[in-house]
Amino acid sequence: MSSFLFCAVLIARLMFISPFLVEGQSMDPTLHDRELFLIDRQIQGNHPLKRGDIVVFSFDDQYYYVKRVVGLPGETIKIKADQVMIKNQEGGYDVLAEPYLMAQHFNYGDERFFLVPSGEYLVFGDNRFHSKDSRTFVYPYVRLDQIYGRYIYP
């Protein structure tokens, strides 16, 4: 009976895992062009998205993006000079630590603010020099229902 249970759990889990292939350089140095990885399609309920998660999403179900969650629903995000900042409860801003950028320094230029709506996310590529992301999208936010899955392996 335990073998059956193990197989049933494994099959159920595999139903929520999908392979995905990176196309392009927008996630360098974390993920490279033509790199294959797995995504977990369970992103609601007990597995909510958090800042720093890498997600796959699409606006039209034809072209898929791979980006990192930077802003969460309800947050105010400010980009200025070479920093991403998150508004804190006191009204000031805390600099977002981004160790995955591997000490790349990107100048964001003019100060910009993003007021992330409820149920939506702000996403940036790790290769800020070569990434089409929330900074360049016509509508900068990604709805939860547009997110196909979250990176899990390797």
Q: Annotated active-site positions, please? A: 26, 67
DSSP assignments along 48-67, one per residue: ---TT-EEEEESSSSSEEEE
- The whole-angstrom separation of Cα 84 and Cα 96 is 6
Nearest to 117 by CA among 149, 150, 143: 143
Asked whether the beta carbons of 116 and 77 are under 8 A apart, the reply is yes
- The whole-angstrom separation of Cα 72 and Cα 122 is 7
Nearest to 80 by CA among 114, 117, 47: 114
Beta bridge partners of 16: none
3-state secondary structure at position 68: strand
